[in-house]
Structures are given as C-alpha cells and as structure tokens.
Structure 1
C-alpha cells in the first residue's frame, strides 16, 4: 500500500453502497431460503434494495439509496414492513443526494444513529499476520457460529453505543445467513480466540462478522484477522476493502491502524416502532 490517503467521492460512495445493497439482498434471500421461503421480501428501490428476512433480522432494512433519484414507491415498501410488524430502517450515506434525506424526514423518518464506513486500497503489500489465523473448515462452522455469537454478546464499551440489542440466537442466524462469505478462525494458546469474515462483491472486499472472545481481547487478535483478510482479498483480485464500524469504537481504531481511511458516515433513519436491528458490519461485533 502506498502512503496516499483514500479519497471518497460520490462515485466511489455509489459503488460501495451498491455493493452493500447486493450483500443485504443476498443475506435476506439466504435467510428466507433457510426458513423455507416464508414471509419476507427483497425488492429493488431507487437503485438500492428493501429487504425483510425474518423477525428481528439484521437484514431488515433499506440500503443503497441516494444515487438514483427519490424512492417514489416507498409507500409500498412501508406497507410491506408494516404488514410484517417491523419498522422501516434506512441506512443513508452522507454523500447521497441530499434531497433523499429531506424526502425521508418529511415522511416522518427520525435520525436514530450513525455508522462509519472505512476503506483501504488493495494491490500493494500487506503486513504479515501474526498469530494463528486460518480459514474456518466446513466441519467447524457450527462451533464458529456459536463462538462468534457468544463473543458478540459481550460488547466493548469504547465509542458510541449501538442502537441495536441482538439476542444470541439472532446473531447466530445472521452470521449463518451472510451469503458468500469466507470465514476465518484465530487461535491463541490452542484456544479459539476470535473470528471474522469477508465477502467479495464487484471487486470490493466487504469485511464483516468479526468478534473476539473477551479473555483474548487487546491481544492483537483482530489485527491478525484484518491482515489475513487483506492478504486474501488482494489475492482474490479485489481493489478495495471496506469495513463498517460504530463511530469512535475499538473496531474503527483497529481498522485505521491497518491503513483504512474514514470514507463517509451512514445515517440510520427509522420510521415505525423500534426493534432490535443490525447488519453484517463488523461494528456490530465485539473486537
């Protein structure tokens, strides 16, 4: 990696948000497939996507708006969420068309929180990971899912608090439904210490699903997992890696130490009754 900082213009933000929308859609579809195709939906909306996977799913949201005009058919989407007893959560990039934010607030959407999107160019050398990090084997999947979920329920206290409150069962289901991800396991002294994953979408490596077992925190576990994934994403031909974090969190600090730049913030806008919500982002997991 060279020393030049990564600058995010509207074009790059559009590319990242479109990749995020594709990730949300794929995960929502995977959740419904797991449940046998029962109630839910994935539908295009003004260049983005609106999705409902299952009750309290991290993938019940609207993503990718703001780069293809106003969501004129939002009435139908709001009705679809209401029929399923869920609020509408919109994640809106601050580089999106400002008219979209005005459109949403005029309809009664309220600002509930923020999240940060960070990115790093790929293609140059990556520092070698220290510690024991390896791909998660297929026969380890259930152990990996439960261990990451358990670790995720013990959240870090640095940075802004999350607006989400997920049960262990919801986290396990969300991690299972992350379609197309590559999972990694980190060990310390022969014990499971943490894990993380990433997905490739249109040349973008989307880092997600990271957590460290509390007793192993502050021991470089997430640094090792970040470096391993950076190397793997580079080998996969990606030109960009992105990660989403809570503002001021340990996850954000870890990412910036590994060369990620803060690209933009997403506003979390909600209409309807609040419910437990999340996404595939690393910020939702303890680091």
Structure 2
C-alpha cells in the first residue's frame, strides 16, 4: 500500500462523507423492507444527517453525522425529531467541523461529551494479499446470511438469539450497489466476517469481526488486505475505516498501513 496523503480539512470531510454515505445506504435499505418493520428513518437537516432505527436503540443507529457550525439553526429541530420518537441519540463531532460555538450550543441544550471514536484512512493497493497459514477468505454467497448472522453475533458478543435479525438487516444489502460481504475461514472453519461499502471512489470498511476462538491467527489483518486489494481493483482511490480509540482493531489497521484521520467526539443526552 503506498503512503496515504496528508490530512487536510478537505480530506477529513471526505472521510466523514464516506461514513455518511454508507450509513445512509444501510439505513435506507432497512427502511425499504416491506412495511419498514425496524422503523428506520433518515432525515437531512442542513448538512447534517440524522439516522433513527426504532428497533435498534444503540447509539450507532440513532446518531447525527455531518453536523457543523452552520447547522446550529437546525439543532432544536433535530432534538425535536428524536424526542417525538422517544429516543436518546448522539451527535458525532469531527475536529474539522468543530467550533466553540457549536460545542457551546450543544452544552446549553444538555448534551455532554461521552466518548471518542477513531477514523482511519489509507490508499488501496493492487498488491495481492498473502494470508497467514490456515486462513482463507472469499465473498459471502447470497444463501449464507444465516451463517453471517451467527458469526456476526458471536464475534461481537451479541446474543446468538439475534442472529436472524442481523441476517435480515444485512441480506437486504447484498444486491445493493457498492456493498461486498466476506467470510473468513481458519483451518477450514468459519471464523469471521467483514463488510465493505464503495461509493464515489471511497471504500469504507464498515464492519469486521472474528469468533473469539480464532482470534490471534491474523484473520482481521487478512480481511483488511483483501478489502484494500478489492477496493483498488474497483478503481477506488481512498479507504476509510473506524475503530474504538487505541483498540486492537485500530492497532491492526495501523499495522496494515492505515493512518489516523481524526478522532471524533460523541455528545449524548440520555434524557430526551
């Protein structure tokens, strides 16, 4: 992988836009299921995108991305949007679009900083990936989403009872433009899954998880290199990924050649 470009405000905004693009595609796909059983909505407020999924109460599916100082006039409308749905939510603030005025306004409305999340970036590579011994990776087949759901849940610590819901909410992306799903094997045993979304030349590594019993064998690194290679073959010029700050995932990404673009702050209000 050749060296990534230096961070500029324009690059940081492109990284954030790639997150908005994949999240918009994902939540709209959930919304378009017959009868919208998950209660999914995407709403624009100025440059900010608000995401809400009734049956997914956690922060990543009830969040606001792309907010900037120029959108302060919409913040009360955003709060009303989530209050009408009786849902707490978070604002994701990037350094490129932060300001004392914006942070002060959120503080005045009762929002408090409650965490950081790292966004990383790199340049795709046409160098064919070489896996550690015993590892194989291929794209997921259309009839394998039940297995995907199981690996997703076990790999992230979710209850196996939720595998069917995970399968349903990812199966709808299979034929949607830009999405690719991968399954990884360790010693011929299904061991993990990974996902990539490509749009406007940016390849977002949106998810990856390994079953605990197979961790430490190099599967996550293999997923990273495989997606870098596939992104290059698809004519992408940028790869983007996210991870908890200083986590094993972030460490793996940096070892694979990705750099930190920014660490965004989450602002949350739990009494909406």
Using structure 1 for the length normalisation, give the TM-score.
Answer: 0.82
Q: CA deviation at 1:183?
A: 0.6
C-alpha distance in 1 between matches for 2:40 and 2:143: 30
Query: Which residue number in structure 2 is paired with residue 12 of structure 1?
Result: 11
C-alpha distance in 2 between matches for 1:41 and 1:184: 27
CA distance 1:249–1:168, change in 2 (3 Å): farther
Unaligned runs of 5+ in 2: none
Q: Of residues 144, 149, 154 in structure 1, which corresponds to 2:153?
A: 149
Structure 1 residues 192-201 or 16-25, which shifts more?
16-25
Query: Which residue number in structure 2 is paired with residue 41 of structure 1?
Result: 41
CA distance 1:14–1:214, change in 2 (3 Å): same
- Helix, strand or coil: the match of 1:31? helix
Q: How many residues align?
A: 262
Q: Of residues 248, 255, 260 in structure 1, which corresponds to 2:258?
A: 260
Query: Which residue number in structure 1 is paired with residue 114 of structure 2?
Result: 112
Q: CA deviation at 1:54?
A: 2.2
Of Structure 1 and Structure 2, which has the larger fraction of its residues in helix?
2
C-alpha distance in 1 between matches for 2:41 and 2:121: 30
Query: Which residue number in structure 2 is paired with residue 181 of structure 1?
Result: 179
**Contact 2:119–2:241 (CA<8 Å) still a contact in 1?**
yes
Structure 1 residues 31-40 or 252-261, which shifts more?
31-40
C-alpha distance in 1 between matches for 2:54 and 2:172: 11
Query: Which residue number in structure 2 is paired with residue 224 of structure 1?
Result: 222
**Contact 1:88–1:270 (CA<8 Å) still a contact in 2?**
yes
C-alpha distance in 2 between matches for 1:173 and 1:109: 33
C-alpha distance in 2 between matches for 1:268 and 1:182: 28
Query: Which residue number in structure 2 is paired with residue 77 of structure 1?
Result: 78
- Helix, strand or coil: the match of 2:127? coil
**Contact 1:126–1:230 (CA<8 Å) still a contact in 2?**
no
